[in-house]
Amino acid sequence: MRNQIDHEAEAGALFLDPARDPGIGFLAAPAFWWRLRDPAVIEGFAASGDAGMNARIEAHVRQVKRHRTFARVAEFNVVPVLLQGAAFRRSYATVGGKALLNGAAGARLLNRYNWDRVGEDSEAALSRYFAGCQVANEGAALPLVVAPEDLDFALECRNTFNFFHFLTETLPQLCVLDAMTFRGRVFLHFPNHPDKTRAFVLAFIEALFPELAGRVVLERTPKDYAQVLSAFSFQWTYFQMPPSVIGSLDGLAPSGLSWHGHSGTRTTRAMVSMNSVESSLPALRERALRAIEGLDFSHLPKRVYIARAPGLARDRKMLGEAALVELLEAFGFVRLAFEDLTPLEQIALMARAEVVVSAHGAGFANMLFANPDATMIEIATLQTAQIRWGDFWPVAHASGCRYVSFIADHHSDAPLEVPDFNTAGIVPAHLTERGLGRVMAFIAALCGHVPRLNRAEDVARLAGQLLRSGHLDRAGAVLDRHHDMQADHADLCLAQAELHKARAEWGAELVALYGARQADPSRWQILAQVLWCARRLNKTEVQVWAIRLLQAEFPDRIAELSKGRDWVRQLL
């Protein structure tokens, strides 16, 4: 059992507190614990062949966007550390028998703590642990040390065959070496059989870290060190330190449905994971973009469909892929597989691309290298949207690209049922004819070929999708082409209003909202939008008009609208 961690231990005995427990030292005082950065545009749209499933998908996306999405993104610092008496066990690192709550490995440790304690309130136990750490660490300072320049550097790896885990978790941590004079070797420790190690591991290290040539060693755990350098993330230290020391993310959370402040509950940690990046991710992105500077990649396309290379990736073939690829090729898309490209070609492809389409998979880790104007389109399922969508948010946040998921049906005997991951694993998507139509309408509009649609609700949906994904001009082109449908359709008027609002055209927004009110007087929300828009324009008479209509037609909504808004009460 030498290669195991005692997951049954109590939290205080299992997890290392970097401010109080011995064995970890920081090479310099960190410049920051965490800092704010702008988020990527991340959206999800329903693309099922079934109306009921589309409603379920839309409800899930709405819940995520309303209750689990931060206003801005937290960037947690990743810094070099010196570990004394370190032990690498499976895919974790320990010091003095206590496991480091370090990045993705720390997230898995905390989740395992919750899962393994059957019959025990592990959430409460973990919250008590974090609360105790916060009290003890009031005014705490991290221990600073000086490390020998020829000391080796070691990292834990989830494994050496999964591209996503390697590219987003292990490889970025090598960037901490940039802040120090380093002459030692680099050890990557993993739990899987060495025969499962994939060539991309060394290929990406050689391409992006040529200065480490000949000094990288892949070694299976267990491995012990008297002392060794490593990288440490403050992501989970956030819950071990009190707000007075590390600050608070509370102001970024949209509601208290899943966010429970500094208590470190499982849903709170999940929100931190999806709404944050570690500083090593943008550092790796910058290093990668420098590596392709001055090189000729003109042979690579700018509109791409990423397929799975036969026999190399897990066999999760999307049903409906052939029809999708055929239609994409008509818009200039080229079918490629990442496995057929060198690391620098993969980076350059993403850095140059305008639109990339692919089924859900590890290849989306390459969003890290996408240019901020690119749109990454994922064909997903409700299963992956529920359990995997947030895993890819950090790489989108690091690049600033647009990440759009079209959520289709499942390629299974029961395509409208969400498969149990524990028994079925990840189930591929089934892109039906109806779902394909939704995806291709979006892509066609994105590529400058606005389709003529027959139904106003389809026009409103497409325009709304383009607006939500940040393509204002494309949304405007869709609405312009279907202007003849707008007069009698509230949703089209609202889409037009949203476009004007995004362009800060408040007067035009008010006109469009009035059109929506005329088309459908039954919606109180339209009058509320008129009220906010009129306030921006300082049109008191319009505000009074909207308030009086709300009083007369929707009296039960007035209390809700006036709550915390003195200016509304003054107009009553």
Question: Per-residue confidence of the chain (572 residues) as pLDDT tens digits?
Answer: 577 887 778 999 999 999 999 999 999 999 999 999 999 999 999 999 999 999 999 999 999 999 999 999 999 999 999 999 999 999 999 999 999 999 999 999 999 999 887 667 999 999 999 999 999 999 889 999 999 889 999 999 999 999 999 999 999 999 999 999 999 999 999 999 999 999 999 999 999 999 999 999 999 999 999 999 999 999 999 999 999 999 999 999 999 999 999 999 999 999 999 999 999 999 999 999 999 999 999 999 999 999 988 765 456 789 999 999 999 999 999 999 999 999 999 999 999 999 999 999 999 999 999 999 999 999 999 999 999 999 999 999 999 999 999 999 999 999 999 999 999 999 999 999 999 999 999 999 999 999 999 999 999 999 999 999 999 999 999 999 999 999 889 999 999 999 999 999 999 999 999 999 999 999 999 999 999 999 999 999 999 999 999 999 999 888 888 887 888 888 77
Do 101 and 206 form a contact (C-beta atoms < 8 A)? no
The CA-atom distances, in angstroms, between 107 and each of 264, 267, 272, 396, 442 are 11, 12, 10, 19, 36
Question: Which residues face 187 on adjacent strands?
Answer: 154, 217
Q: Where would I find the beta strands (DSSP E) of 173-318?
A: 186-190, 216-220, 223-233, 276-278, 303-306
Residue 122 lies in a domain: no
Q: Which domain holds residue 544?
A: 521-572
Quote the number of domains for the chain.
Answer: 1
The pLDDT assigned to 314 comes to: 54
* Residue 299 token pair: 């042979």
Do 307 and 358 form a contact (C-beta atoms < 8 A)? yes
Helix extents (H) in 425-523: 433-446, 456-468, 472-481, 490-502, 506-519
The pLDDT assigned to 435 comes to: 98
Residue 572 lies in a domain: yes
Residue 147 CA to residue 453 CA, distance in Å, equals: 66
Residue 458 lies in a domain: no
Residue 352 lies in a domain: no
pTM: 0.96
Residue 381 lies in a domain: no
